[in-house]
Structure formats: C-alpha cells, structure tokens
Structure 1
Amino acid sequence: MPIENACASLSSQKIGWHDKKWTNWSNFTLNQQKITTKTYLIPINVNKSRKNQYFIIKHQKKTYKSINYKNKK
C-alpha cells in the first residue's frame, strides 16, 4: 500500500474522533502524516511477519514429530 493511501485511510478513520483531535491531525503537514503513518505501520508489519514465522516453525515441529513417530513403529 502506498504511503499516501495509508495516510488517507488513517485520516478517514479519524473522522469519528473528537473535533479537537481531528484538527490536530489535519494540521500536520503531509510529511508529518507520512512519518506518523510509517511509525504506525512498521509494528503491524513486524507482527504479521512474526506470526508467519511462528506458524512456519510450529508446522515444521509437527511435521518433524509425525515423521519420527512413524519411523519408531
């Protein structure tokens, strides 16, 4: 997702905010909004990759255990 689209989606989510908070966000320059959005999106991407890594590791362990179990019989 381009950073401009991310800024726009975050801005649209802030419509429900109190007017004072919305004014603070809209007073940011575009560059400030981009920086704020990047710092917000980076942890989300890190968490997604961690969940994917955990799933892969968990799946590999199950596969390894099932292979060992079959060989013991």
Structure 2
Amino acid sequence: MTIENACASLSSKKGDWNDKKWTKWSNFTLKQQKTTIKIRLIAINSIKRIKNSKLSKPIKKYFKNQSVIKIKTNKKHQKINKKQQIKIM
C-alpha cells in the first residue's frame, strides 16, 4: 500500500463512527493496517518536529548515499573563534 493510497483511505474514512467504517477497516489486511498506523504516527511526529523547529538552532541537511547527515551551524561561535585567532597572531 503506497502512502498516497493510505492517505486517501484515511481521508475517505473521516465521518461518523458506524458499523460500515469498522467493516472497511476489518477488510484491510494486517499489513495494510500496520502501514496506515505507521503513516499516521509519522505524520504526527513530523508536525511536532515542525512546531519545535522554530525554537531549535538552524540545521543544515546534506544527503549522501540516501542517508541524512545533520550538521548544526553556530555562526556566532565561528566568528568569535576567528577574532580570537587574529588577536593571538
């Protein structure tokens, strides 16, 4: 089950709680039920991260071989170090 199909199935199920909804859910295979639940959790976590990102430090993401490497940048700290190096020399 693709993400698009899972999202479409979730949006189509928004409505009153009735027996039809439960029969539709029971017609799903166990694997489909697990994927839809995982997608819901991923969506909830991503929304929380977006809200918390406003409070956190800026992060640059570099993609390399399908893995994500996060490098935190702190420009003020770098500027201070450069000034100190100049004064020492």
* TM-score normalised to structure 2 length: 0.41
Report which of the two has the higher share of helix.
1
Question: Highest relative contact order (Cα 8 Å, sep 6+), 1 or 2?
Answer: 1
Report which of the two has the higher share of strand.
2
* TM-score normalised to structure 1 length: 0.49
Which structure is larger by alpha-carbon Rg, 1 or 2? 2
